[in-house]
Structure 1
Amino acid sequence: MGVDVAGLTRRFGAGRPALHGVDLAVRQGEFVALLGPSGSGKTTLLRILAGLEFPDAGRVRVGGRDMAGVPARARGVGFVFQHYALFRHMTVFENVAFGLRVRPRARRPAEAEIARRVRDLLALVQVPELERRYPEQISGGQRQRVALARALAIEPPLLLLDEPFGALDAQVRKDLRLWLRGLHDRLGITTLFVTHDQDEAMAIADRIALLRDGRVVQFDAPEALFEHPADAFVAGFLGDSNRLPCVVAGGLACFAPLPLPGMATSLPDGPALAFVRPGALLAAPGEGAVVQGVRHDGRALHLVVAAGGRMLEAAPAPGWDAPRRGDACALSIAEARFFAAQQ
C-alpha cells in the first residue's frame, strides 16, 4: 500500500513548525527510513501517518484513501513505539492477541483463530517459546520482536516503526535490523522506519528521506544520498567527512591556512565549503602536517593528522605502508564535494 504526503504542516505552539510543507511519496512494498537529527520532524510525521496526530495543513493518502479525520483505530496501521509499549500485566500471548480481541464483535476472529494467528506470529518473529512469559521476564531484543508481532497481528497494509532499536545495545541492534529487513522482504508490507542512526538507515532502507527543520531535504536511495548530496547539510550528515572552509577564485578553491594544494571547482567566486571523505584526504611523507594517531580497522589504516591548527581524518597515500605517530607528512585531496558557504 503506497503512501502519499503533500504539503504537510504541523505546528506546536508559536515556534517554528515541526513539519513545514512536507511532500513524500512511498511506493507499495517499499522500506523507507525517515532520518535526521533530533527535532527534525521524523516522529511527528510518523504519528500523523498513524493518526496519532493531525496536520494543520496538507494531505495524507494511504493506498489512495484520504486520511483526513480518520482516527488511528480505523486506519489499520501497525505501529511499533520506541519503547515497545507492551502491557506489563499481560503475557506475551495476550499482548500479541490484543489488537484482535478489541475489534468490534462482527470483525473479531473466533478464539481458535486468534490463538492460531498469535502462535504463527510468534513463530514468524522467532520467539514461540515466550508466549506464557510477561514483558519484564524477557530481554529488550525479545520485547522488540513481541511488539512487532503485536503490530502485525491486525495484518496491516502499512507498518510504522519509531526508533524501535533505540534502547538496545549495538550488537543486538545490528542483528535485529538485518532480521527486520529479511522479515519485510518476506511479507512485502510497506514500511516506514524512524531513526537518527545513519548506519542503520543506510544498511536496510530502500530509500531514505532525510529531514531537517521540518522539511525533507533529500529523498533518494542510500547510495545516491551518499554520492550525490543535494546540499552541504546532506554531505555533512551522511558518513564521515572533513569539512574544510575554502575560498574560490577563478575556478580554484584555496584552503589556506591548511597546507593543501588548490583544487578546481565549478563554483562561483566566494567563500565555500569542501567535504572530503577520510579516504580521499591522502597523507604522504613530507611537510605541513603531523600524524597524531594511527588506527587499523582490519581492512585499512586510518590516520588522524594535525594541520593548520585542526585535526583531520586521512588515509595513507599508496606506497606509505607504515606511518607512525609523530611522522611529518604532506596532504593532498583526491576528491571533494563543494558547496557555497551560505548553504
Structure 2
Amino acid sequence: MTPNTVGHVTITRDRVFDALSLTGAIALLIVSVVGPPENLAYTGVGIAVQVMAVGPLVFRRLAPLAVIWFTAATAIGMSITELVAPGTIIDLAHDHGTLWIPQAVTPFAVCGAMSHYRNQTAVWIPTGVLFILGLRPWELTGARIAQSLILVIVPAVIGMSIAARDRTYKVLMESARADERAKLAAEMHDVVTHRVSLMVLQAGGLEMTARDEETRRAAEELRANGCQALEELREVVAILREQGGESTGKTAQAPVPELSTLVSESTSVGVPVELVEEGAAGQASAVVRRTAHRIVQEALTNVRKHAPGAKVRVHVTYGPSDTRVSVRNSPPIGPGLSLAGSGSGLDNLRERVSMIGGTLDAGPSSEGGFHVSATLTEPVS
C-alpha cells in the first residue's frame, strides 16, 4: 500500500466517521426528547440543554478535550440544578430513571476525545466525571449502571481503539515513504552514478589526449564538475537511505565544499557576489552545510541564467540548532538566457531541504530582484 493510498483511506474513514457521529448524536437527541407527552422525561429547559450540548460536537476533531469538558460541565450543571430544584431539567413525574447527563452528545464526545486527543490520561478525568454523574451513586440502580456503561465507558474503549488504529496507519505511511526513498536511492545509484562516472572518465581521457591547452582546461573543468556531481549525488543517496532506515554513515564523512568557491566561480564569469558568513561553520553538521552549499549553487545558477548583470548578496548564519541561508539579487540589467524556467530546481531544493526538517522560501523581492531563503534544522542526534 502506497502512502497516498493509506492517506486517502484514512481521510475517507475520518470523514465518514465524523458524519456518522453527528448523525448518531442527532438521532439519539430525537429519541431522547421526542415522544408521547405522557412519556417525555425532559422539561422544556431539559430539551433546550440537550439540543445546546450537541452543537460543540462539530469541533470534536479540532478541540476534542474542550468538547468533552463542555459536555462534563453541562452534566454538572444539570445535576446541580436537579438537586437544588428538582423537576427543572427532568420531569420526574414521568420518568425516574433518566440520566442527568447530555445523553445525545456524551458517547460521541467521549469517543472523539479518546480518539483525537494525544493525552488520553487527561481525557479520562472528564470521562470519569460523566460516568459518576450518570451513575448517581446516591441513587444507584442496575439500569443506571448499564446506561452509564453504554453511554460513557463503551465509547471510551472504542475511541482508544480508533486512536490505536490511527497510530498504526501513521506507522504504515512512514514505512511506505521510507521504502520509496530507499528504492529511489538504489535507482539513482545504479543509473545516474553510472552515467556520470562515464562522463568523468571520458572527460579525463579527453584531458589526456587533447593537443591544445584550451581543450585540456575545458576537459579538466568538466571532469571536476562531474566529480563534484558524484559527491553531491552520493550525499543525496545517503540521505534517502537514512530516511529508509539504511544509514551508511557516508554523509558525515563526505567533504564539504566551501561557499567561497562558488563565489569565485560566479565572479570569474561576471556575476559579482558578496558573501557574508556569521557564526562558526563548524557548528553546522556536514549535511546542513552541504545543503546550504547546494542552495547557494542553485541560486547563483539561476542568477546567471535569468538575471544577467545583477548583483548578488549571500548571507549565511551558522548556529548550534539551525543554519539560515539567504541569497538575494538585484534586478537584471539585460535579458536572461531563457525567458522562463521550469522551476524544477527550486522544487528539488524544497524536497531536499524538507528531508532534513528545514524550510525554503523563494520568490520576487520588493526591490525587483529575487530571493531564496532557507532555514536548515540540525538533525536530532
User: Normalising by structure 1, what TM-score?
Assistant: 0.29
Determine which structure has the larger strand proportion and give its number.
1
Determine which structure has the larger helix proportion and give its number.
2
Structure showing greater Rg: 2
